[in-house]
Amino acid sequence: MAYFQRHKGIFPLLLLLPGLLWLIVFFAVPLYYQAKISLNTGSPFEGFRFAWHWSTYTDAIRTYHTQFIRSFIYAGASTGLSLLIGYPLAYAIAFRGGRWRNALLLAVILPFFVTYLVRTLAWETILDDSSPLVSFLQTLGIVGKNGHVLATTSAVIAGITYNFLPFMILPLYAALERIDPRMLEAGADLYGNRRSVFTRVTLPLSMPGVVAGVLLTFIPAAGDFVNAALLGSPKQTMIGNVIQSRYLEVNDYPTAAALSFMLMAIILVMVAIWAKIAGTESLMGAETA
Amino acid sequence: MATEAYPAPAAATAKAARPPGVSPWRRAGRTVIHWSLPVYAGLALIYLIFPIAIIIWFSFNNTHSRFNFVWQGWTLKHWKDPFQVPGLLDALKVSIEVALLSTLIATALGTMMALALVRYEFRGRAPLNFFIFLPLATPEIVLGAALLSLFLSQSKVFQLGFGTILIAHVMFNISFVVVTVRSRLIGFDRHLEEAAQDLGANAWTTFWRVTLPLIAPGVVAAALLAFALSIDDFVITNLNSGSTVTYPLFIWGAARVSIPPEVNIVATMIFVVTVLIAILTVWQARRAEKLSEVRPEQEAIA
Amino acid sequence: MSERNIDKLIDELVAAEINRRQLLRRGAAGAMSVSAAAFLAACGGGGNALSGGTKTAAEKTIPKGEVGTQLNFSNWPLYIDVDHGKHPTLEKFTKETGVHVKYTEEINDNNEFFGKVRQQLASGSSGGRDIIVMTDWMAGKMIRLGYIQKLDKSALPNVNANLVDNLKHIDFDPNRDFTVPWQSGQTGLIVRKDKVGDVTSVNEVFNPKWKGKVTLLTEMRDSVGLTMLGMGKDPTTGSVDDMMAAVNKMNDNVKNGQIRRFTGNDYLKDLPKGDTWIAYGWSGDAVQLQADNKNIEFIHPDEGFMLWTDNMMVPVGAPHAYTAEVFMNWIYQPQVEAPIEDYVNYVPPVKGTKEALLKIDPEVAKNPLIFPDAATLAKGHAFKTLSPADEDKLNNAFQALIGA
């Protein structure tokens, strides 16, 4: 281990510095000014000035708590669905993929190369009132006779699930792929039952992937606005739509900045709780390298 | 008497005709379970690809007007002149350039950071991890608006355009790269490096010929992710692009009026290219398999 | 304090802050020290650089200069003729004057564009843009904020001669000192005749029979205006209370599911697909939609409809302001406007376009949506110009309504 100790002093710093600088200048500094703006007082037409105007935060919560809660519910539902759909697929690619592995992975991220908007618009076509899919759902009775799927909550959740599915699958795959198949054999030798091998060997070993996947899906989903805008109605507005509107349509920068920070804070709290529950420290800190 | 005393043998012989221990029900059950996974996975894949199929399908739509929403019949007319929509090709070029550059920079910076974070003990590692994680938790609209304020307040240094888009993309990609590479590094076996050192390699050789190839899958995955994120980014780019138009921005603008079939055609082309790459990797994997039959020790490392 | 001064103040505050921290941070990386130099420069010249948007720019007209070689024109999508990847009109201009036009379709929404460029405009820079096209009310707002350059009328003889009479004066720009209309349009009802039959009243959108098949517009003045007309109020003269009443009515109809959603141009997909049967929509789109589906019709409601204009303007800091004037003047010839109109299908502001179009495309020339007769025009209403306080109040209420 000599070579690691010798370079302990400045080497890590050298490795860190470029990336760190980039993040500081283009992430931390701008955020600092946004924080200041969130404490501004005034209005879009008379101008803003800095004052410790904390009531922006309380007003924002009071006015928009519905959208906040709704966003987290949608994000949670989509994440759950993503997990249900994505885990078996990741498992299949990792353990049964063989030589098709990379091809399948490419298939998974293929939707990415067809811009976000085009994907969502394709769903508009699939879910429109006269489409075969909706007619099928109508015969099944899931959708009312004059009902529609677009401009409802289901469409928005379906859209979010679809758009962030690759974010769930890739980390899951990475974690599953690293599991040594001999572990599974050992488990089978010791327990002899497929289900317990899965629940007591595979699942725990893949937990870092589950954690990463859940986070990478939930976080952007909570702040999303495109799906709600294209597939939903005003009753499905998420906090992302509100922030977007405050910034661009109404130019109410303090409220927009305040909402953004609150969203960030809530997400971080949820992440911390989730990391505790899932019990993995590999999230942020204590690497055992 | 003999038959009464030994009813069992008759039953035994009756049972012996079947293979021992596995009833056909159980075998059927096992087959179902064995195949249910691939079937489920297959359905999930279809779910992923289906909207793309729709997009490709609509590139053959025989549109009478500018609009491409209702199916009106087959035609190849759009394919004859796919880039006739002004601005589409330019926007695509810009997007690809930004994506390539930002991927390169972000992967390099991020991999270095990941190495430093995982390998070395130093003070402030935990807060640093947290700091790197923050951009992932920040809503895109915040990142975009905050950056815009910075660029505008320093307008002598930053002109809104290609440069600012690049800066923004590298910024949000770094965190993704760090997280991805780090998860690969964590399970990394240090002993391999020690072994290399024992065999006489110096630090640089060890890194170049042992470490890097072993973390390569993680780095490649991170680069792919960064590329995809950059090509697809809309919110942050929208605010920081000035009057430069990237592909997602072009689509957003076009979507307000109608997405021309040419966009579908570009999507189809991307699909075809990706399929070709996929076939290439399969072919490559088969070659690797064949090699490993000749040299088994290679497989142990991969 | 005015908005401009506040922005200026914040920018200087930002620059000053960073400056101080630079000095404190020793051994900072090269990047920071480069920026420090730039910040110092910006700070020193800060006062002058940021005053471009003040009244002085607005009072001076654009000086005559040389026609340059480049023009940067920012516009809405599909607002100029296109043929096989090229813009014939722009190419004609290049041929006649030698000026290369960089045409960017970056404007998708008045507010969104304003949000993107306002800080630049406040600091006197147009981001390289020579001409931008904004709808009436946003044009008025930008003029009020001093972001637009005053035009030199002597450089615009064609405009003075050919601008249609009903647009010669408008309340936010009484003498057309800052704006030159690009296209006008009408907002009314676009319906699927085969689904809803003959419709004559705006209030048909609130008919429970069409529940879930109705979309209104995200453009506040269009939705509020039409709804007000249906309630018997006039958007040109009505009070803010009347407007808020219209917003409340729409809100009730969102809650009970009558209104499916609020769209920009997306009703263009919903109508042919049958997701929407009756929508607030724009006349130019209706002409295009009819080509696809004969069942789609634009209706001028009995109660009235909304009239609006998109205007060309030269923002402060435009690098080729005189060339911009030359271009705007050149457009105002009927034979130039006709092919644009043939493609865009809105209402041209140039006199004589109809006659010129009769020669190229008589069907379009005879379309009443593109050349409405006087009787129809009489039922059109422009939306009142609001005071900033009222605009804020209404905007906030409307944004909450459409789900933001």
At residue C298, the pLDDT reads: 92
**Chain A residues contacting C via beta carbons under 8 Å:** 17, 21, 25, 29, 33, 37, 42-50, 124, 128-130, 146-148, 150-151, 228, 230, 232-237, 241-242, 244-252
- pLDDT-above-70 percentage for chain C: 85
Domain-embedded: residue B155: yes
Average confidence (pLDDT) over C377-390: 87
Q: Dig out the tokens for A177 from the structure.
A: 């792929």
Best mean pLDDT range from A243-247, B187-191, C69-73: C69-73
What does pLDDT average to over chain B? Answer: 78
pLDDT tier at A270 (50, 70, 90 boundaries)?
confident
Cβ distance of A256 and B145 shorter than 8 Å: yes
Structurally, chain B folds into a number of domains equal to 1
pLDDT at residue B190 tops 90: no
Which tokens is A65 given?
């708590």
Q: Which of A54, A46, A53 is nearest to C392 (CA)?
A: A46
Instruction: Report the range of poorest mean pLDDT among A44-53, A280-289, B45-54, B117-126.
Output: A280-289
- pLDDT value at position A288? 32
Q: How far is CA A34 from CA B25, C43, C286, in A?
A: 65, 20, 43
Q: Which of C6, C31, C111 sits opposite A249 (nearest CB)?
A: C111
Q: Widest CA span of chain B, in angstroms?
A: 111
Residue contacts between A and C (CB atoms, under 8 Å): 109
Domain extent at residue B172 = 86-258
**Closest in A8, A166, A260 to B142, CB measured:** A260
- Using CB atoms, which residue from B86, B153, B254 is nearest to C11? B153
Note whether ipTM > 0.90 here: no
Domains belonging to chain A, first-starting first, are: 31-37+54-278 (1.10.3720.10)
Q: In whole angstroms, what is the distance from residue C351 CA to residue C348 CA?
A: 8
Residues B48-65: what's their mean pLDDT? Answer: 81
Q: Give domain status of residue B140, yes or no.
A: yes
Closest CA to A151 of A231, A241, A235: A231
Range among A167-171, B120-124, B236-240, C183-187 with highest mean pLDDT value: C183-187
Q: What is the per-residue pLDDT for C36?
A: 33
Q: What per-residue confidence (pLDDT) applies to A14?
A: 81
Are B282 and A99 within 8 A, CB to CB? yes
Write out chain A residues lying below 8 Å of C3, CB-based.
Answer: 44-47
CB C307 within 8 A of CB C380: yes
Location of structure tokens 């702040």: A223
pLDDT of residue A45: 55
Provide CATH code, domain C59-183+308-363: 3.40.190.10
Pick the most confident of A10-19, A23-32, B202-211, B276-285. A23-32
The reply to whether B286 falls in a domain is no
CA distance to A175, B211, B214, B301, per residue, from B189 (Å): 15, 10, 10, 11
Nearest-angstrom CA–CA distance, C255 and C138: 30
CA angle B79, B85, B90 (to 5 degrees): 110
- Overall average pLDDT of the B159-164 stretch: 86
């209309």: which residue's tokens?
C181
Question: For position B115, what pLDDT does the model report?
Answer: 85
Q: Which residue from B minimizes the CA distance to C288?
A: B65
Cβ contact A147–C111 (<8 Å): no
A chain contacts of residue B178, beta-carbon cutoff 8 Å: 19
Contact C77 B160 (CB under 8 A): no
Contact A194 B33 (CB under 8 A): yes
In the prediction, which pLDDT does C122 show? 84
In a domain, B251, yes or no: yes
State residue A72's pLDDT score. 93
Quick one: fold of C185-304+384-401?
D-Maltodextrin-Binding Protein; domain 2 (3.40.190)
CB B278 within 8 A of CB A107: yes
Q: What is the pLDDT of residues C203-230, one digit of tens each?
A: 989 999 888 899 999 889 999 999 999 9
Q: Residue ranges per domain, chain C?
A: 3-44, 59-183+308-363, 185-304+384-401
B243/C108 CB distance under 8 A: no
Instruction: Please list, in sequence order, all residues whose beta carbon lies within 8 angstroms of the beta carbon of residue C373, skipping any fewer than 6 positions away.
Output: none
Whether B184 contacts B221, CB under 8 Å: yes
Q: What is the pLDDT of residue A261?
A: 85
Domain-embedded: residue B165? yes
- With a CB cutoff of 8 Å and minimum separation 6, the contacts of C126 are C117, C120, C132, C315, C316, C317, C318, C319
User: Given this model, what pLDDT does residue B67 score?
Assistant: 66
> For the domain that residue B179 is a member of, what is the CATH number?
1.10.3720.10
Q: Crossing angle for the helix pair B162-186 and B140-153, nearest 10 degrees?
A: 130
Q: Give me the pLDDT at residue C315, please.
A: 94
pLDDT of residue C314: 94
- Does A19 touch chain B if contact means CB atoms closer than 8 Å? yes
pLDDT beyond 70 at B245:
yes
CA pair distance A143, A132, nearest whole angstrom: 13
Asked if the model's pLDDT at residue C327 lies above 90, the reply is yes
Residues A68-73 have a mean pLDDT of 93
CB contact under 8 A, A118 and B263: yes
pLDDT at A278: 64
CB atoms within 10 A of CB C161: 12
> How far, CA to CA in Å, does C353 sit from each of B98, C89, C90, C307, C312?
44, 15, 18, 19, 18
Point out the residue among A92, A268, A285 whose CB comes nearest to the CB of B129.
A285
Q: Using one digit for the tens of pLDDT, what is the confidence trace for C100-112?
A: 999 988 888 888 8
- Burial B103-141, CB ≥16 within 10 A → b, else e: bebbbbbbbbbbbbbbbbeeeebeebbebbbbbbbbbbb
pLDDT at A5: 47
Compute the average pLDDT of residues C249-261.
90
Which residues, including other chains, have CB under 8 Å from residue C35's CB and lie 6 or more apart?
A: A25, B154, B157, C18, C22
Mean pLDDT throughout C370-396? 87
For residues A126-142, average pLDDT: 81
Sign, Cα dihedral of C176, C181, C186, C187: negative
Give the residue from C44, C52, C2 showing the smallest Cα distance to A49: C2
C302-326 per-position pLDDT tens digit: 999 999 999 999 999 999 999 999 9
- C217's tokens: 């517009």
| Residue B240 resides in a domain | yes
Instruction: Give the closest-approach CA distance of C26 to chain A in angstroms.
Output: 15
Is the separation of the CB atoms in A30 and B146 below 8 Å? yes
Among candidates B44, B54, B112 on the partner chain, residue whose Cβ is nearest the Cβ of A89: B44
**Which range, of A16-25, B234-243, C251-260, averages the lowest pLDDT?**
B234-243
Question: Does residue B4 lie within any of the structural domains?
Answer: no
Q: How far is B208 from chain C (nearest CA, A)?
A: 28
Q: What does each C-alpha distance from B43 to A34, A276, B54 come to in angstroms?
A: 44, 34, 16
B119 part of a folded domain: yes
Measured CA to CA, the distance from residue A257 to residue A35 in angstroms comes to 7
